[in-house]
Amino acid sequence: MSFLIQQTLLYSIPLMIVALAGVFSERSGVINLALEGIMIMGAFIGVIATRSLQSLQIFVDAQASGNWAMLQLMELMIMLIAAFAGAVFSLLLSYSAINLRADQTIGGTALNLLAPAICLFLIRVIANQNTLGMENGSSPADWFMIKRSTLGIDPMQKLDFFTETFVVKNYLATYICIIIFVIMAIILYKTRFGLRLRACGENPQAAASLGINVFKMRYAGVTISGALAGMGGFVYAMTTQNCTSNGDVAGFGFLALAVMIFGNWKPLNIAFASLIFGFFKCIAASYSTLDINGDGVYFLRDTIKVSPYLYMMMPFVITLIVLSLTSKNSRAPKAEGIPYDKGMR
């Protein structure tokens, strides 16, 4: 049971943060189809940063002596770098969508094509193969994972359910993402900035008439979106892909888009939706090894016998159904996808 919850969280948290990234962009009036591309970029830069920080003596010593505070600091630094990379990459989208008033769908598609291409091109040049991992074949479990030894717990000691599930074998990144999610949701709903941002996505002309700079607000929305998505991309790569980058996040960015739609562009619903979708993803991933009650029978593979691909398909099917059921009262921002034109009313 703890395994299932842990795994679900691993998939849900990046999904949640990237879906929130989508909300920030769309609420400011720019459709961000590039979530997938930004995630790929964030993951790639994150892995590059991990590799270069790994060779610094201070962190090598910290890892050797088990100085976990130092290592967690390193993890935070890499998350920040990945967020910065995502924000910079998303500027390409803002420039074409806001300054040039180009088609946002095409701009997003271009970024989705560009990110894997550049990443794979560089990975092949750097590593001469299609996957870039950490230096010397080490894994994030050695460096960043919170383990029994990190906390000084005896390996044989029986743990209570809470510690077993939410502390041991977890990553600090998961909780940082949750905190960031809450903070960003509050910013979006309870601050002046958030209100202005949302106004630009509903009726930019009205917002401009009250002295709000729509261009700046949309730039802010897309850049925040890029930072969150870039960070989410790295967290996804670190926690579920063993800190590797291969120019691919397996459609995770599009899944986040589905989460955003399913959650009706609202943070609380998104948190809920990402748990459901993360659960499907987790079931599909641990299909052949999931042993719920520990009796040696692989429940999904041997008892239910439904193909794992069906579980992976479910989130998209559900989203399509939800889309068609709620099309009449969808809360999608009114002005999303429409370039802002001062002269229009």
3-state class (DSSP) for residue 241: coil
Q: Residue 230, Cβ neighbours under 10 Å: how many? A: 33
> What is the closest distance, in whole angstroms, from the C-beta atom of residue 261 to other proteins in the complex?
6
Q: How far is the CB of 43 from other proteins (least distance, A)?
A: 14
Cβ distance to other proteins smaller for residue 70 or 332 = 332
Closer residue to other proteins (CB): 74 or 261: 261
Q: Which is nearer to other proteins, 105 or 303 (CB)?
A: 105
Q: How far is the CB of 111 from other proteins (least distance, A)?
A: 7
Looking at the Cβ atoms of 110 and 227, the one nearer to other proteins is: 110
Q: How far apart are CA 263 and CA 172, in angstroms?
A: 26
The nearer residue to other proteins, 193 or 309, going by C-beta atoms, is 309
| DSSP-derived 3-state class of residue 130 | coil
Minimum CB–partner distance for residue 22 and other proteins (Å)? 11
For 299, the token pair is: 């429940």
Distance CA 325, CA 192 (A): 33
List Cβ neighbours of 108 (8 Å cut-off, separation of 6 or more).
Answer: 31, 32, 33, 34, 37, 93
User: Who's near 284: CB < 8 A, 6+ residues apart?
Assistant: 308, 309, 311, 312
Cα–Cα distance measured from residue 86 to residue 320, given in angstroms and rounded to the nearest whole number: 28
**Any residues with CB less than 8 A from the CB of 279 and at least 6 apart, and which?**
8, 11, 12
What is the Cα–Cα distance from 243 to 43, expressed in whole angstroms? 8
Instruction: Look at residues 229, 218, 264, 217 and name the one whose alpha carbon lies nearest to residue 112.
Output: 229
d(CA 138, CA 36): 26
Give whichever of 158 and 328 is closer to other proteins, judged by the CB atom: 328
Rounded to a whole number of angstroms, the minimum distance from the CB of residue 141 to other proteins is 23
- Work out how close the CB of 70 gets to other proteins at its nearest, in angstroms, rounded to a whole number: 30
What would you report as the CA-atom Rg of the chain, rounded to the nearest whole angstrom?
21
Cβ 73 to other proteins shortest distance, Å: 29
Q: Which is nearer to other proteins, 175 or 316 (CB)?
A: 316
Tell me whether residue 91 or residue 183 sits nearer to other proteins (CB atom).
Answer: 91
The DSSP secondary structure of 165-233, one letter per residue, reads: HHTTTB-HHHHHHHHHHHHHHHHHHHSHHHHHHHHHHH-HHHHHHTT--HHHHHHHHHHHHHHHHHHHH
Residue number with CB closer to other proteins (194 or 308): 308
C-alpha pair distances (Å), 119 with each of 41, 50, 136, 230: 7, 15, 20, 14
Beta carbon of residue 172, minimum distance to other proteins (angstroms, whole number): 28
Chain residues binding other proteins by CB under 8 A are 31, 33, 92, 96, 100, 102-103, 105-107, 109-114, 116-118, 120-122, 124-125, 247-248, 250-251, 254-255, 257-258, 261, 307, 309-310, 312-313, 316-317, 319-320, 323-324, 327
Closest separation between CB of residue 30 and other proteins, Å? 13
